[in-house]
Amino acid sequence: MKYALRAENLKKQYKVSRSNIVKALCGVDISIKEGELVAIMGRSGSGKSTLLNLLGTLDKPSSGKVFIGDDEITALPKRKMPLIRNEKIGFIFQSFNLIPTLTAKENVMLPLKYAGISKRDSSKKAIESLKILDMGDRLNHIPSQLSGGQQQRVAIARALSGHPDII
């Protein structure tokens, strides 16, 4: 059985003050198979965002292991994490995280640029992705010129354009 993403005994603690430590995650195990759709559910403050940040390499666990495919990523140096994120993971953030000075097309092109894809090919992929999401007439609009739903579609196009293993 091939797993896309796995975590073993994942723990995360935050030091709030010298004497106050918050335990955000306490020994989480999760295995997600390739092609499987998973929803992380729970009450506010239950650790959902913390778990997603750890699985997505946006934060380091206090202890435990995270694997993408067969590779343990928690053992990798911090400088390698952006490369793993860009190559393997497509993020769709709740707040979209679009760069306000870039057009819809440029926002979608950005991760492709960091993946080493040529400007010409990045532009082509960005246009294709945005057209699929019915945003072909908004390619050159900056986020403030787009509705919330349109911004969300740009964020989705950006996440999918590099064909990541994990979204």
In SS3 terms, 93-109 reads as CCCCCCCCCCCHHHHHH
Q: Which residue has the higher pLDDT, 83 or 126?
A: 126
Confidence at residue 134, expressed as pLDDT on a 0 to 100 scale: 97
For the cut 90, the answer to whether the pLDDT of residue 10 exceeds it is yes
Q: Judge whether 25 and 54 are in contact, CB under 8 Å.
A: yes
Task: Name which of 150, 145, 152 is nearest 102 in CA terms.
Answer: 145
Contacts of 104 by beta carbon, 8 Å cutoff, 6+ apart:
130, 135, 138, 139, 140, 141, 142, 143, 146, 150, 154, 157
Is-contact 140 105, C-beta < 8 A?
Answer: yes
What is the mean predicted confidence (pLDDT) over 80-100? 92
CA dihedral 5, 76, 81, 11 (to 10 degrees): 60
> Model's pTM, two decimal places?
0.86
Calculate mean pLDDT across residues 131-156: 98
Instruction: Retrieve residue 7's tokens.
Output: 């975590």
Q: Contact, 63 vs 9, CB < 8 A?
A: yes
